[in-house]
Amino acid sequence: MAADCVGFSKLMDSNEELTLQNIKICRSLIDPIIKEHGGRIFHTAGDSMIAEFNSVVDSVNTAIEFQKVLSERNASVDEESRMEFRIGIHLDDVIIEGANIYGSGVNVAARLEGLCEPGCILLSRTVHEKIVKRIKIAIDSLGNAKLKNIEGDFEIYQISPTLKDPTGSAEQNTATGPPTENRVAKSRKDGEAKPRLMLLPFRNLNKSEANDFLVDGIVDDIITELSMINSIEIMSRNTTFDYKDNPIDVKEAAEKYKLDYVITGSIRSAGNRVRVSAELGDPISGNSIWSARYDKTMDDVFEIQDEIVSKMAKTVLNEFEVTSLQRAKRKPTDKMTSYEYLLQGKFHKRKLTKEDANIAVDMFTNAIESDPSNGRAYAERCCTWADGLGQSWFDESDDDLHNKIRVTLEDAYELTGLDWDCHRLLCNISLYLDLN
């Protein structure tokens, strides 16, 4: 079973303290239900989780009770305190190694959760076959859907425990068709939606893995900055980097995610010089709306990012929220050496291996030593240590790591100021420590 909180990042951006308080309350309701039904919780950062069950019936019953309890809570609290979750369930083999769980069962459940509507539960056909005659609740057939990076079509079924009568028929084929690969690809009413952009992975023209950290880091920062402009909807970094090694046709991406604009680009570096090319295009017509090339020193990379964000926002909107853009124009550090160490650390951190985690910590430490005011480096180092808890990635014991994280968190909070993306990360770490 895979589950996550809907719109958690936006809630954190709106009110960190209230969101953190509410997610803790929700987890205090959810976690006991999972454990009472024999479930074991893996991979949790507070707003999402993976749980494994010995019985698929127990898994589905847990999910139903999970959604009903949260629905009852939502009915009793103010709108700003309400939280909704999505759940995906699949039956397949998994591999458990200590605190980690792997396998197609995990991958498919996570993909189903990504397709799920808030407050609902999506089941694979294998799960449906096992529970349809054993659980008396309305189940809708949604037909077949393709799951990203999963071969073949998957027949999908939906349970809406907060909307349907649990004593109703065992199955109701009322849905009109399968969900799309991503929730954002739902049809939108004209005039109601924000312009939707996707930044595709920039090409590394150096064709060297040693330069990947720079390319990925700049792309990551541009996504973060664009996400702070409230008048624009930008696809998440996770969606972007899903296509780093699996290129997608621009028109296919536009249809899949209902995109209005696509951002493409390339980066080439030589010594202290960097060339960044960026283009904003209409994905349907293929026309270029705006493009630019920057030949700068590495010291100018922040200005490049700011100009890309500003030009694209102005092109798309004509007028946009200046205050939001100003928040986006923040430098993690004034020292380029520290920034390079930060990017290298983030590059290795994403790989989620013991070796890379240790390299990442060393890089973040170097970034801090180069510039003790680089708050983002403190935050990323905390996150890397947290990822290693229970996995024996580091020489320190889990208790020692807990202490190091808590001490470093104080510095990170103080130094990151209004950097909401860092504060979202830090709040997730704090929540994880409180729950464990």
Distances (CA, A) of 70 to 30, 76, 118, 119: 8, 10, 11, 8
Q: Could you tell me where the DSSP H helices lie in 228-353? A: 237-241, 250-257, 301-317, 322-328, 336-349
pLDDT band at 329 (very low <50, low <70, confident <90, very high): very low
CB neighbour burial string for 107-136, b if at least 16 within 10 angstroms, e if fewer: bbbbbbbbbbbebbbbbbbbbbebbeeebe
Across 44-112, the runs of DSSP E, i.e. the strands, are 48-52, 85-89, 95-97, 100-102
Distance CA 3, CA 164 (A): 20
The strand ranges marked E within 256-396 are 261-270, 273-281, 288-297
Confidence grade of residue 192 (pLDDT, cut at 50, 70, 90): very low
For residue 336 the two structure tokens come to: 């380029």
- At residue 147, the 3 state secondary structure works out as coil
Question: Which of the four pLDDT bands, split at 50, 70 and 90, describes residue 87?
Answer: very high
Half-sphere exposure of 376 (CA within 13 A, CB side): 23
Give residue-wise pLDDT tens across range 388-406: 877 888 888 888 888 888 8
Give 234 or 81, the one with higher predicted confidence: 81
Pick the CATH number of 336-435 from 2.60.40.1250, 1.25.40.10, 1.10.287.130, 3.40.640.10: 1.25.40.10
Winning range, highest mean pLDDT, from 13-27, 32-46, 99-113, 140-154: 13-27
Three-class DSSP category at 194 = coil
Q: What is the mean pLDDT of residues 211-227?
A: 78
pLDDT of residue 183: 36
353-386 pLDDT, tens per residue? 889 899 999 999 999 998 888 888 888 888 888 8
- pLDDT-above-90 percentage for the chain: 8
pTM, to two decimals: 0.44
Q: Return phi, psi of residue 186, to 5°.
A: -65, 150
Tell the CATH topology of 2-179.
Alpha-Beta Plaits (3.30.70)
The fold for domain 196-328 equals: Rossmann fold (3.40.50)
> What are the structural domain ranges in the chain?
2-179, 196-328, 336-435
Res 136 pLDDT > 90 = no
Question: To the nearest whole percent, how much of the chain has pLDDT over 70?
Answer: 77
